Amino acid sequence: MGEDRGMETGEETGRRRAAVEGCRKVLSGSLRPGMKQKLERLAAAAEEGEADHYGDGVVRELELRVAALLGMPDAAFFPTGTMAQQVALRAWAGRTGNPVVALHPLAHPEVHERDALHAVSGLRTVHPTTRPRTPTAEEVRDFEEPFGTLMLELPLRDAGFVLPTWDELTAVVAAARERDAVVHLDGARLWECTPHFGRSLPEIAELADSVYVSFYKSLEGLSGAVLASSTELVAEAKAWRHRYGGMLFEQFPAVLAAQAGLDTELPRLASYVAHAKPVARALREGLAAAGLGMPRVHPEEPHTHQFQLWLPYPADALNEASVRQAEQTGISLFGRGRFMEPGLPGLSMTEVTVGASALEWTEDDVRAAAADFARRLAESTGGPQG
């Protein structure tokens, strides 16, 4: 994503959080409960009996539940997705005899994990494409180097939460098979992909040899991830999980939160995805009508319930206007999200997430809040620009 020229100080981050917590209405993200409220919810969800110990009990119940949801033979719970994917890719390298992983340069392991695949697991990565999208079947089929595993991030978050079409996805998987490569899905946000593909979770997961899913990104869990695959691969993954320090004594708080997310948030995700489309349209139209240059939503029609918003202003000015709107009106367009300048100076981007709190927003509500945001930006910048 390049250098982030929208970094905040600790004081600025605290101010943003306090402003959003005081809001009565938030469009992007959600009004997060505090620690006490989270603990009360967990206590209400807990049943009598002993907690888990080293992966049994409620941990095993969650593993089996997710395996069934994905239509996979078995699954293993991990404390983090970073660990789950390192283990999966390391195991596949051993089974294929090839330590090379083909993935996108914007994929999570390349951008957010401090080169862990190489430094910790001894793997090497190659990039069939540098375009901000999933590689095509031709790019995979014709890539000049051999690789043992093709990793696909669905959706590709740092490219704008973008997804291929179903036909494109099946074609790229077939191309990997032609090269005798296994396919691993980084499905941290796979839960919300079903509307775009028009396919169920098992139909999507069936394309791959292994799938990772997260519980805190879309399901509002505390932490944790699951790796689903064959019984043999999961057994090996659990051995590596122990070696990587992921065999925790008790994990029931994270597991209870994950179960609650599957119960409550998973059934709602399709409604969030559907609502993201009119929200994106109204946000773009409202900002444009207020004279904010050439606001751009990417993708123009969101593929999931998340998308990027780009504006031709410095990140500091946009972030200040966002916080002031929350502080002074009790309404926040962008929630805890902040604008960054990942490329050209003065061209800023923020990620918008349409969740439960956004469902009460009509298109007129979004346009009105966009106009108000534009006024506060003009106050700090001296008027419209771009």
Q: What CATH number corresponds to the domain at position 95?
A: 3.40.640.10
Structural domain for 376, as ranges: 10-31+268-381
> Under a CB-based contact definition with an 8 Å cutoff, are residues 327 and 373 in contact?
no
Same domain, 97 and 221: yes
Same domain, 57 and 198: yes
Same domain, 120 and 222: yes
**What six digits make up the tokens of 7?**
């970094």
Among 386, 363, 362, which residue's Cα sits nearest to residue 374?
A: 386
pLDDT of residue 383: 54
256 lies in some domain: no
**What six digits make up the tokens of 103?**
């993935």
> Under a CB-based contact definition with an 8 Å cutoff, are residues 212 and 80 in contact?
no
CATH of the domain at 355: 3.90.1150.10
Same domain, 26 and 163: no
Per-residue pLDDT 10s for the chain (386 aa) are 444 555 778 888 888 889 999 999 999 987 777 788 888 888 787 876 778 898 899 999 999 999 999 999 999 999 999 999 999 999 999 999 999 999 999 999 999 999 999 999 999 999 999 999 999 999 999 999 999 999 999 999 999 999 999 999 999 999 999 999 999 999 999 999 999 999 999 999 999 999 999 999 999 999 999 999 999 999 999 999 999 999 999 999 999 999 999 999 999 999 999 999 999 999 999 999 999 889 999 999 999 999 999 999 999 999 999 999 999 999 999 999 999 999 999 999 999 999 999 999 999 999 999 999 999 998 877 654 44
164 lies in some domain: yes
Chain length of the chain: 386
> What is the 3-class SS of 200-260, one letter each residue?
CHHHHHCCCCEEEEECCCCCCCCCCEEEEECHHHHHHHHHHHHHCCCCCCCCHHHHHHHHH
Same domain, 189 and 58: yes
Same domain, 301 and 234: no
Same domain, 147 and 275: no
Query: What is the number of structural domains in the chain?
Result: 2
Same domain, 236 and 340: no
124 lies in some domain: yes
Same domain, 315 and 222: no
pLDDT of residue 318: 96
How far apart are alpha carbons 88 and 334 in whole angstroms?
Answer: 35
243 lies in some domain: yes
**What six digits make up the tokens of 316?**
């500091």
How far apart are alpha carbons 376 and 105 in whole angstroms?
Answer: 37
Same domain, 62 and 187: yes
3 lies in some domain: no
> Under a CB-based contact definition with an 8 Å cutoff, are residues 348 and 318 in contact?
yes
46 lies in some domain: no
Same domain, 202 and 232: yes
